[in-house]
């Protein structure tokens, strides 16, 4: 059996940094609140919770110290924390912080922002809060019409197109094409490709491997946005793509039928889970 393990599988630099810093902080203080799950991986969340990290859903539940995860958070959370004297350990990924800064700068320079992203995703919600009221979130083609209506109502002629760091590369290009073809020449459109490098590499590698193998295994948390995108890419090219969280989700009899397997994992999947899956397939 041929097994191809994606070179870009597993933790990205932002997640690695978040986990390492959280572990460091928990050595000093075992009573820290984290706004939302620290990463979209159940095993890692449970491990850190045992060491004193409490996952909370809202800043209103925070006690003295709050950890902001790699996705970042909204402007309001910083303001509430400041007013309530809650200490912030800010582990927002630098790539997300750069987007917050850009949308603020462009908003201040009278740009209307088209933010491509999953509307319910914390990163998108956070980034959107740093835009002025002249901004729209576009998750899919169907959102473009309303976004353009709102742009026209604003009377602004400058447009910034930017996205969530883990947005799909192909959808980004598709949405940009529709927008640039729809808006007339009086609009000045600035396109900022803000999909991070880690996401780029994983999506490109998934595309490549999934065209070569009979079975594609995508590993990651069920609520991980970047892993979901990898699965969507894989299933387009390989009809036998499966999405698993750990080795426990593998059906041995199913796997046995294939001569070639590709394995890739999302940016929040720990390396030990990837290794377990790889070894398991190798030994079948
Ligand atoms: S996926 Fe990209 S933006 Fe998100 S934490 Fe990782 S490196 Fe940072």
Atom of ligand 1 nearest to the CA of 123: 4
Which is the catalytic residue, given 25, 37, 123, 205? 123
pLDDT digits (tens, 9 = 90+) for 176-193: 999 999 999 999 999 999
d(CA 268, CA 258): 27
Domains along the sequence of the chain with CATH: 2-10+197-282 (3.40.1010.20), 13-93 (3.40.50.11270), 95-191 (3.40.1010.20)
* pLDDT of 204: 95
Q: Does the CB atom of residue 162 touch ligand 1 within 6 A?
A: no
Average pLDDT of the segment spanning 198-203? 94
> Which residue from 8, 15, 100, 266 has its CB within 8 A of the most atoms of ligand 1, so it is best to mutate?
15
123 is catalytic: yes
β-strand partners of 34: 55, 67
Q: What's the CA-to-centroid distance between 176 and ligand 1, angstroms?
A: 22
d(CA 219, CA 242): 9
Q: Which residue has the tokens 């835009």?
A: 131
* pLDDT of 47: 93
pLDDT digits (tens, 9 = 90+) for 2-55: 999 999 998 999 999 999 999 999 999 999 999 999 998 888 899 999 999 999
d(CA 115, CA 123): 11
Stated pTM of the model: 0.91
Q: What's the CA-to-centroid distance between 83 and ligand 1, angstroms?
A: 29
Closest by CA to 163, choosing from 77, 95, 220, is: 95
pLDDT digits (tens, 9 = 90+) for 138-168: 999 999 999 999 999 999 999 999 999 999 9
d(CA 274, CA 44): 13
């Amino acid at each position: 059996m041929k097994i191809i393990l994606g070179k870009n599988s597993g933790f990205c630099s932002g997640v690695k940094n978040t986990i390492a810093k959280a572990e460091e902080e928990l050595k000093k203080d075992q009573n820290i609140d984290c706004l939302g799950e620290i990463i979209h991986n159940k095993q890692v969340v449970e491990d850190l919770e045992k060491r004193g990290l409490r996952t909370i859903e809202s800043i209103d539940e925070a006690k003295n110290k709050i950890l902001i995860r790699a996705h970042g958070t909204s402007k309001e959370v910083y303001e509430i924390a400041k007013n309530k004297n809650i200490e912030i350990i800010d582990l927002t990924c630098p790539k997300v912080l750069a987007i917050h800064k850009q949308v603020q700068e462009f908003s201040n320079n009278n740009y209307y922002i088209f933010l491509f992203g999953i509307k319910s995703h914390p990163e998108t919600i956070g980034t959107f809060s740093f835009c002025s009221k002249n901004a729209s979130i576009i998750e899919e083609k169907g959102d473009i019409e309303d976004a353009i209506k709102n742009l026209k109502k604003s009377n602004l002629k400058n447009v910034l197109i930017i996205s969530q760091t883990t947005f799909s590369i192909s959808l980004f290009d598709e949405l940009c094409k529709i927008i640039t073809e729809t808006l007339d020449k009086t609009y000045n459109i600035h396109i900022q490709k803000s999909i991070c490098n880690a996401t780029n590499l994983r999506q490109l590698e998934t595309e490549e491997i999934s065209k070569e193998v009979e079975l594609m295994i995508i590993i990651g948390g069920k609520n991980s946005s970047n892993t979901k995108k990898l699965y969507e890419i894989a299933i387009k090219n390989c009809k036998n793509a499966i999405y698993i969280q750990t080795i426990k989700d593998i059906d041995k009899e199913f796997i046995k039928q294939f001569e070639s397997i590709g394995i890739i994992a999302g940016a929040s999947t720990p390396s030990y889970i990837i290794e377990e899956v790889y070894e398991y397939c190798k030994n079948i």
